[in-house]
Homo-oligomer: A and B are copies of this chain.
Amino acid sequence: MTREIVFTQRVEFGDCDPARIVWFPNFFRWLDAASRHFFVSCGVPSWSETERDTGLIGTPLVDTHARFIKTATYGDTLQIRTRIAEWRGKSFVMAYRVLRGDDLLMECEEVRIFAARREDGSIYALPVPADIRRLCE
């Protein structure tokens, strides 16, 4: 059984486009927030703390695949159900289901890494930190 965390997101007027529905890049903003809240809910410290202690600056994306099923508009309240679907050596798969009540609006799977920064500013993948994995399972 994998742990699932629910994140609640309101949809605002400014999140919607001239077609009066959520402009899709906003869904990715919300998934990114849900991802961070997943780690916070599991007891993982903030990325500014982990950067200071271990060099870990966050969990950037390397791949994302999303399906948009129904639209949303302002006034809606969304539930984003987030879990880690798979752990790999240097990456992990986050899976999301975005619901409005019983309606599934969107699904997404992402591959993310635990990243550190090189001297020249570029980033690279750390092996999945064992302590973080333990907190999240």
The answer to whether A57 and B115 have CB atoms under 8 Å apart is: no
**A73: CB under 8 A from chain B?**
yes
A-B pairs, 8 with minimum CB distance: A25-B28, A12-B33, A65-B65, A18-B20, A14-B23, A25-B29, A19-B57, A25-B25
**A75: CB under 8 A from chain B?**
yes
The answer to whether B68 and A19 have CB atoms under 8 Å apart is: no
What is the total number of residues of chain A having a CB less than 8 Å from a CB of chain B?
Answer: 43
**A87: CB under 8 A from chain B?**
no
Shortest Cβ distance from A66 into B: residue: B64
Instruction: Point out the residues of chain B lying under 8 angstroms from A58, CB to CB.
Output: 13, 17-19
Shortest Cβ distance from A113 into B: residue: B68
The answer to whether B75 and A68 have CB atoms under 8 Å apart is: no
A13 contact from B10, B32, B65, B67, Cβ within 8 A: B32
Shortest Cβ distance from A35 into B: residue: B13
A55 → B minimal CB distance (Å) = 12
